[in-house]
Each structure stands twice: as C-alpha cells, then as structure tokens.
Amino acid sequence: MATFVIVHGGFGGGWEWRDVARFLQADGHDVTRPTLTGLGERSHLVSPALDLDSHVEDVVQHLEYEGLRGVILVGQSYGGMVVTGAADRVPERIARLVYVDGFVPRNGESLFDLAGPELSASLRGAAVAGLVRPPGGTPAGYPAWYLERSRAHPLACFEAPIKLDGRGDAIPRSYVKCLQSDVPLEASIERAREGGWPIAEIDTHHDAQVADPKALAGLLTAIAGEHVPHLADE
C-alpha cells in the first residue's frame, strides 16, 4: 500500500482532506496531511512575512521528521507550487508527484505568473496588510463550513518565484483535472500534456476533496497502482 502526503491549497488546511484520507486509509494506505504555517489550525501563526519558501520548508520538515520515504506527494491548487519546491529539495523521499487541479511551476515562476492577470488582480485586491482575505459567500457546490474554516493567506506566497535546481525533474508525475474548475490552470495542464503525464479527470469544481472525496480517493488509489482510469485524450 502507498503512503500519501497531501498538501492543501490556498486559504485551506489539512482538515479539508479528512474525508479523502478516511477513504484512502480504508483501502489500506497511510496518509498524512500537514497544514501549512499560518493556515487552518495554524492560522494563529499567520504573518505577511510567510512566503512560498516557508511552505516548501514546512513540507520538507514534515517528510524528514516523520521519516517518510517513497511517498506519493499530492498538491492541490496552490499546493502544486509547494510540492514542486519540496520535490526539488528532497527528491529521494518522493516516489510520485500528483497535482490535483494544481499549479505546475517552472524555475523562477510565481503563482501569479501562472494564474493570469484576472485572478492575480483579484487576489491582490483582496489583500489587506499583506494578507489575502478568503473568498466571501458560498459558491454553488460548497458547504458553508468549508468557507467558515478558510483563513487569510499571505500575499507573498503568491508573489514569490519558486527556486528549482532540477533535482526533482526525474520524479514521475500525474495530474488530476477538475472538469468544473473555474481556476485558470490551462498553462499547468498543458505542461502535464507536454510531459506525457497521465491525466485523470473528475467531474467536480476546483476543490474535489470537498465535492467528491470518495471519487478523488479512488483516483489517487488508482494512481498509486500506476493505472489511471479515464485518461484525458485532449
């Protein structure tokens, strides 16, 4: 069975992957889901000084202190930036990277470089004193509790360019595309296609871990078994 380390996206926390973890554990997998500094249950540590490097270090330290090797490292949305950085730092601990509707950066790129001008302007416009306020309201398909637990995210995490030395380039990668996503991930998905990565699809909004945790867990289990059903043929 596989060991999954799951890294959440912006404004969230490891808590939002609880149900996915339960389904994976029921299939016999080991799962950890660290919360990045300043978010979720660690929101009391939030600071505008936190940036992408801070969150990459969170994941590296988690892998090292838990003594984890041969893991499937999963990054959702902004978490794609984080797992890419962590894979470059400790490639010997990672068997596969999985991006769940995640950003796929190259060296020197920030999330804003990949997100496009509209989303970048929206996030910058929601920033107060270096912290981006979580989205307001309850979008269709999201439970109220999801947004109630969302927390402000340091703006610097989205502005900071990633620093990659190419040490993680040989790690196999897969992509899970959310078909109802409203996040501009075209550049990242195209990179997955160009790289010949397996691309699986799930018919949910951007946060599949909330919309359909059972189906997402099934896809992750399939990826762990090196077989991805419903491959995208676009």
For 170-219, the DSSP string reads TS-EEEEEETT--S--HHHHHHHHHTT--EEEESS-S-HHHH-HHHHHHH
- Which amino acids are annotated catalytic? 77
Q: Which of 90-99, 134-143, 145-154 has the highest mean predicted lDDT (pLDDT)?
A: 90-99
Q: In this model, does residue 181 exceed pLDDT 80?
A: yes
pLDDT at position 228: 46
Q: pLDDT tens digits for 18-69?
A: 999 999 999 999 999 999 999 999 999 999 999 999 999 999 999 999 999 9
Terminal-residue alpha carbon distance, the chain: 31
Cβ burial of 129 (10 Å; 0-12, 13-18, 19+) is exposed
Three-point CA angle 156, 148, 17, nearest 5°:
75
> Helices 213-224 and 18-26, interaxial angle, to 10°?
50
The strand ranges marked E within 81-161 are 94-100, 127-128, 131-132, 153-154
**3-class SS at 56?**
helix
Question: What type of residue is 105?
Answer: P
**3-class SS at 92?**
helix
pLDDT at position 137: 65
**Could you tell me the domains of the chain?**
3-224 (3.40.50.1820)
Name the pLDDT band for 233 (thresholds 50, 70, 90).
Answer: very low
Question: What type of residue is 148?
Answer: E
Among residues 148, 140, 149, 213, the alpha carbon closest in space to that of 176 is found at 213
The helix (H) or strand (E) run that includes residue 122 is: helix 111-125
